[in-house]
Chains A and B, each alone.
Chain A
Amino acid sequence: MIGAFPTQVFSQENKSEGTEKKFDPKETILEHIADKHEWRLFGKSYIPLPVILYTDKGIETFSSGNLQPAGTIYKGKYYNYILVNNKIKAVDDAGKIDAAANKKVWDFSITQNVACMWMTGALLLIVFLSMSSTYKKRVGKAPKGLQSFLEPLILFIRDDVALPNIGVKYERYMPLLLTIFFFILINNLFGMIPFFPGGYNLTGNIAVTAVLAVIILIVVNLNAKKGYWKHIFMPNPWWLFPIMIPVEIVSIFSKPIALMIRLFANITAGHIIVLSLVSLIFIFNSLWISPVSVVFVVFIDTIELLVAFLQAYIFTMLSSLFIGMAIEEHHDHQEVI
């Protein structure tokens, strides 16, 4: 299945171009891991998603189906639009990209990533709200069903991530850590499914990881105790001030940036490897290479399954570590960046 799905997509692209254009793996792969304005199901089929544009003249909404097939110009209320590399660009009447107008158009569309995020968000809500009601119904009883499957994960976050890194005040941060963990985990896993409900690259999108990292940055610095700021602005001994203060200020930001890049790079890399292995079939233009591709893809997918969990765990673990270091009362040692 993993092997079969991209075949359809690639062949579709080749056909839509009309001519036997040489296969460009880089372009195809980047196109696949990027965000899109329609929700790809499988093959040629897709669900059009709403386009929401904030322009200087007002908000404009229309279906992304109006921009298909590629190259179609849609005449909106205020500007004309076209899809270029899955990005909406304003064009003038002649069909040329209007750079001045583009600066005034902000794209707040419900893209594939947003739609998938809502789907997994809804899934998380359904799963955990029903689980929470089960806890109310079965007070003091042994876990059952979903409970017994997810409770170990929750306890793992509590006992092995939050408690050792944050300390006794861990309870305050548990909702944040659990939400981050399950949000990353479910999107990592859905991203690995090569067709309809998955096939997107949310946690491998820099915007998403940036938002998560900024949340951690804010939480860490808003909750930081005196020791944390003292460590930054009053290093020991005093003559290190000129060096240490800039370094420490950079470290405030470098920690969340590391979080952001780590998750983004790991998940994107996984997608790129799988797509590259499938692309081998098209690069060699031979069906005989497909068993090799499939074997390697299965192998990498297995590793990615581990990585999906591992990255969710690492993000949560480092977040709690940073929180723990910031809220520590006595703090006079070198920190981990």
Chain B
Amino acid sequence: MDLVTPEVGLIFWTALSFFILLFILGKFAWKPILAAVNEREQSIETALSRAEAVKEEMSRLTSENEALLKQARAERDAILSEATKVKNQIISEAKESAHKEGARQIELARIEINNQKAIAMADVKNQVATLSLDIAEKVLRKQFEDQKKQDELVKELLKEVKLS
């Protein structure tokens, strides 16, 4: 029966000691410890969420970079193909214009040649005409030294006029 009979002294000292322990521990140990643990938990949580946000930001940046790179590459390709086109165009234009110029030059030369030829021909004709006239004059001078021949010719010419 002694076993289950509480002793007054022990009850008193237990209660007193426990309350002192509770007070000191509660004030100087549990409160700061729990506060520190809470604070650390919160800081870990914020750090984790921040890391998550940074990761997201990183992936966003990476994808943005990739997009930019892709765009840049596409632009480069476009510029290159544009340049090629322009080059080809310029070459073909140059070729064409060279062709045209050549043709024009040839044409001009031909015209010039023709002109020169015509001039030359005209000159030759004139010369020939002058020559022929000179010759004819000389021939006529010779022929018409004789009166009889002159009459004969006039007669013949008149005959021809009548006929026409």
Contacts and interface: CB of A to CB of B under 8 A. Distances in A.
Interface stretch (B27-35, B96-104, B110-118): B27-35
Contacts of B31: 175
B45 to A, nearest CB: 12
Given A211-B15, A211-B18, A179 B9 contact: no
Nearest to B7: A207
Contacts of A33: 3
Interface of A: 30, 33-35, 52, 85, 87, 106-111, 113-114, 117-118, 121, 124-125, 128-129, 131-132, 135-136, 139-140, 151, 154-155, 158, 171, 174-176, 178-179, 183, 205-208, 210-212, 215, 264, 268
Contacts of B4: 206, 264
Interface stretch (B36-44, B51-59, B71-79): B36-44
Given A121-B21, A140-B39, A175-B22, A207 B30 contact: no
B21 A183 contact: yes
A171 B34 contact: yes
Contacts of B6: 205-207, 210
B157 interface: no
A129 B29 contact: yes
A111 B9 contact: yes
B164 interface: no
Contacts of A151: 33, 37
Nearest to A86: B2
A111 B29 contact: no
B104 to A, nearest CB: 89
Given A34-B3, A174-B34, A207-B6, A125 B24 contact: yes
Nearest to A34: B2
A296 B29 CA distance: 40
Interface of B: 2-15, 17-18, 20-22, 24-26, 28-34, 36-37, 39-40, 43
Nearest to B5: A206
A108 B9 contact: yes
Contacts of A87: 2
Most buried by B among A87, A109, A205: A205
Contact of A124 (B21, B34, B37): B21
Nearest to B42: A140
B34 A176 contact: no
B43 to A, nearest CB: 6
A132 B3 contact: no
Contact of B26 (A110, A131, A175, A211): A175
Most buried by B among A30, A179, A183: A179
A interface SS class:
helix
A34 B14 CA distance: 16
Contact of B3 (A30, A110, A175): A30
Given A125-B25, A206-B5, A135 B33 contact: yes
Given A30-B2, A110-B13, A155-B37, A35 B7 contact: yes
A179 B25 contact: yes
Contacts of B43: 140
Contacts of B20: 121
Q: Which 5 A-B pairs have the closest CB atoms?
A: A175-B26, A207-B6, A128-B29, A135-B36, A207-B10
B17 to A, nearest CB: 5
Contacts of A125: 21, 24-25, 29
A200 B3 CA distance: 14
Given A106-B8, A132-B29, 13 more contacts: A85-B2, A121-B17, A125-B29, A131-B33, A132-B28, A135-B37, A136-B32, A154-B33, A176-B26, A210-B11, A211-B18, A212-B18, A268-B3
